A and B are shown apart, each in its own frame.
Chain A
Amino acid sequence: MKLDEVPQDNNRTLGGYRKAMYARDESGRMVMTPSNGWEVEEIVTTQAIDTLQAQADAARQRIQAGQSAPLEYWIYARRMDIEMLAQVTGLWRWRIRRHLRPAVFARLSPALLARYADALGLTPDQISRLPEQP
């Protein structure tokens, strides 16, 4: 990649940051240069975020249908999945899945609720309900 080929596509996903890239200058020397993004990166980052968003939306529908607890929505809204939450909280995956049943979730001990809330960086109150529709 030559210096003048370094993409400057103004990626939204970079939030104003510029990243360092290595490219060759006219004399053939590799030098570091800032880039405000490449559309390719924006496409795949947006896809990763959209995938999590879709999972959160699907969870929201299950919750509204009474099939799942609001905790499930927050797992994806905080960019995790059940496997990751299991690692962070030290709880078994099957136990987390069981806790996602609305009836079981309603009876969770304050200690467990706090454990989930802490892992997600939220309060017990927040993870017990859905946020307003955006």
Chain B
Amino acid sequence: MSYQHQHAAHCESGTAANLLRHHGATITEPMAFGIAAGLSFAYLPFVRINGLPLIAYRMLPKAILKGAAKPFGTQFRFEKFRSVEDGQRRLDELLASGQIVGLQTSVFWLPYFPESMRFHFNAHNLVVYGKEGDDYLIGDPVAEEPQRCATADLNRARFAKGALAPQGLLYYPITPAYDNVKPEAIRPAIRTTARNMLAPVPIIGVRGIRMLARRIAKLDPKDAMSSPFIGHVVRMQEEIGTGGAGFRFIYAAFLQEARDITGIAALGECSERLMEIGDAWRDVALAAARMVKGRDALDPPAIAALLMQQAASEEAFFRALGKTV
């Protein structure tokens, strides 16, 4: 069967869904994201990227791949490599045998990426579905159309070094045992997300949002790094493939599907409520961008107050969500 590329909002949930679908599973991107309990929030001030802290609205890399395969009674096989030669040989071998392969890569070294989006982020995911001459045929979930990438460039992107170095990681699913997500698989996934968001850890979930808010409240409006800090939060929330509002909209889409599969009507109401919370995240982003652009005066406490509100609505939301399942 030839590979059907499908556009997605987020690289890992898109890759997971596209690969599993290729193997006969019925799965959408939101389902892959939700069933893997991909939604989260993490503020990691001690991990710095270009001098700015790591802020994530999702779980760690690979968590979505692993979690999305599980309800289908299967798993992904992961392979890492010590050398570029071994990594390329194995990829070529799998492609020659007709396998469709997922890869973890750097974004910076992919030439087909838009210039302004090429930062040193090493946990991008994409699908390779063939090779023609020196070019790999690539289904990059965040691109609408299939792409091509020369061998040397793809090798470079697969073996980029630094934080989250992919080490040539490739993966492919073992043939799924079931082709549909069963209702029993949905409840634990939702419970896990509710628990993660309410975790008693200061840098995770709702408490992580509050900690970030307190950090922002302390920014000095006259300090040259204050505006980039606030802009960075918005980038992590909106720009880097989250489907809008830091994955809240994707998760709302998952909750609708979850309602249809389980028949729990309350999940539909939860979805509505999360869409509203997502809209409020978009308002935070808008207010922040106006300050970055200089249309409004830089006012860190105002952004902090908005984030505190988000923390409060999400705390109430995830408590209610946990109770529905």
Contact = CB atoms under 8 A, between A and B. Distances in A.
B51 interface: yes
Contact of B231 (A29, A38, A43, A90): A43
B114 A16 contact: yes
A1 B117 contact: no
Contacts of A29: 256
A14 interface: yes
B250 A22 contact: yes
- Among the interface residues A18, A28, A29, A51, which one has the most CB atoms of the partner chain B within 10 A? A51
Contact of A81 (B51, B235, B272, B282): B51
Interface of B: 7-9, 14, 29-30, 48-51, 108-109, 114-120, 142-144, 156, 160-163, 227-228, 231-232, 234-235, 238-239, 241, 243-245, 249-250, 252-253, 256, 271-272, 275, 278-279, 282, 285-286, 288-289, 292-293
Contact of B232 (A19, A20, A23, A48): A48
Contact of A88 (B114, B161, B245, B253): B161
Nearest to B274: A30
A41 B187 CA distance: 34
Contacts of B231: 43-44, 47-48
Given A16-B114, A51-B228, A40 B50 contact: no
A89 B286 CA distance: 38
B239 A45 contact: yes
A15 interface: yes
Contacts of A121: 109, 156
Given A20-B243, A22-B250, A47-B292, A13 B117 contact: yes
A79 B120 contact: yes
Contacts of A52: 50
B7 A20 contact: yes
A94 interface: no
Contacts of B279: 1
A112 interface: no
B293 to A, nearest CB: 5
Interface of A: 1, 12-24, 28-32, 34, 38-41, 43-49, 51-52, 79-81, 83-84, 87-90, 119, 121
B117 A45 contact: yes
Given A13-B116, A30-B256, A84-B50, A40 B249 contact: no
A39 B289 contact: yes
A40 B244 contact: no
B279 to A, nearest CB: 6
Contacts of B244: 1, 21-23
**Top 6 A-B residue pairs of the complex, sorted by shortest distance between their CB atoms:** A15-B114, A30-B253, A13-B116, A22-B249, A40-B289, A20-B9
A40 B285 contact: yes
A44 B235 CA distance: 6
Nearest to B51: A81
Given A17-B143, A24-B275, A84 B162 contact: yes
Contacts of B144: 17-18, 34
